């Protein structure tokens, strides 16, 4: 945990200080702070950041406006801090590149728990690669290839930027082709804390995957919906 760099972006200095104090007590030592969108972009340009806690209401521009600019620079895990709680606000955050959200007022220990859960998912993936040397590291579906080791998605040979949670969800489907998963199963397997998020999270991330891998996202050939059951990633069997 101490090697993971976390950027806290919030104009309320008391919140930044509280998060800094709690995260340090929870074992996160490499913390960066920004109080405006401009400071956040500069910080991201000068540092490799793993996780970003991003306030929606910033003085110079909203976190929703800032998020796409961040995505141009990094695929870091983005957790929105927001007082906006409508479904539209939440879905907007996911659609523009966010990975998770938490509403204000919040318990900073919950944020620490979410970060740890996110990191555990990565550790399990890395651990499986180390333990099972023979495990497949590239998943070739013809139109697209997911390179697990490089953390890359290639579509027709072109590298396609892929936020962390989108990559992990697609990775899970690639590891289990032609198997139907319910939203609940996907939440538990990929997010690891289904009590914190709802099934809209899966819906939005499914759409974000389709926008990357499908010829026509509205008529998916690969990541298909199985009505009443969930989703499956289709891969033709080869002899």
pLDDT (tens digit, 9 = 90+) per residue, 128-151? 332 233 456 889 999 999 998 888
User: Taking the model in full, what pTM does it have?
Assistant: 0.57
Q: Is the pLDDT score of 49 beyond 90?
A: yes
Q: What pLDDT sits at residue 3?
A: 75
Find the mean pLDDT for residues 95-113. 80
What average pLDDT is seen over the chain?
A: 83
Q: What pLDDT sits at residue 41?
A: 95
pLDDT (tens digit, 9 = 90+) per residue, 151-194? 899 999 999 988 888 898 999 999 899 999 988 888 877 876 54
CATH number of 6-118: 3.40.50.2300
Q: What is the 3-state secondary structure (H, E, C) of the chain?
A: CCCCCEEEECCCHHHHHHHHHHHHHCCCCCEEEECCHHHHHHHHHHCCCCEEEEECCCCCCCHHHHHHHHHCCCCCEEEEEECCCCHHHHHHHHHCCCCEEEECCCCHHHHHHHHHHHHHHHHHHHHHHHHCCCCCCEEECCCEEEECCCCEEEECCEECCCCHHHHHHHHHHHHCCCCCECHHHHHHHHHCCCCCCCHHHHHHHHHHHHHHHCCCCCCCCCEEEECCCEEEECCCCCC
Residues of the chain with CATH 1.10.10.10: 136-233
Residues of the chain with CATH 3.40.50.2300: 6-118
Q: Pick one of 2.60.120.380, 1.10.357.10, 1.10.10.10, 2.40.50.100 as the CATH number of 136-233.
A: 1.10.10.10
Find the mean pLDDT for residues 195-202. 65
Q: Is the pLDDT score of 94 beyond 70?
A: no
């Amino acid at each position: 945990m101490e090697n993971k760099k976390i950027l806290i972006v919030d104009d309320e200095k008391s919140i930044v200080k509280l998060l800094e104090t709690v995260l340090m007590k929870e074992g996160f030592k490499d913390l960066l702070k920004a109080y405006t969108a401009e400071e956040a972009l500069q910080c991201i340009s000068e540092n490799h950041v793993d996780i970003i806690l991003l306030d929606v209401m910033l003085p110079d521009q909203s976190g929703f406006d800032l998020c796409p600019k961040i995505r141009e620079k990094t695929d870091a895990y983005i957790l929105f801090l927001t007082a906006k709680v409508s479904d539209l606000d939440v879905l907007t955050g996911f659609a523009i590149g966010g990975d998770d959200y938490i509403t204000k007022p919040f318990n900073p220990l919950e944020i620490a728990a979410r970060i740890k859960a996110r990191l555990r998912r990565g550790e399990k993936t890395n651990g499986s690669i180390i333990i099972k040397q023979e495990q497949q590291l590239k998943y070739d579906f013809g139109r697209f290839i997911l390179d697990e080791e490089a953390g890359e998605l290639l579509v027709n040979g072109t590298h396609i930027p892929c936020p962390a949670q989108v990559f992990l969800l697609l990775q899970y489907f690639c590891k289990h082709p032609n198997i139907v998963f319910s939203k609940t199963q996907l939440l538990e397997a990929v997010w690891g804390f289904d009590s914190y998020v709802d099934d809209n999270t899966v819906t939005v991330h499914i759409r974000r995957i389709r926008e990357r891998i499908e010829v026509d996202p509205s008529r998916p050939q690969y990541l298909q919906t199985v009505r009443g059951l969930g989703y499956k990633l289709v891969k033709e069997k080869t002899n």
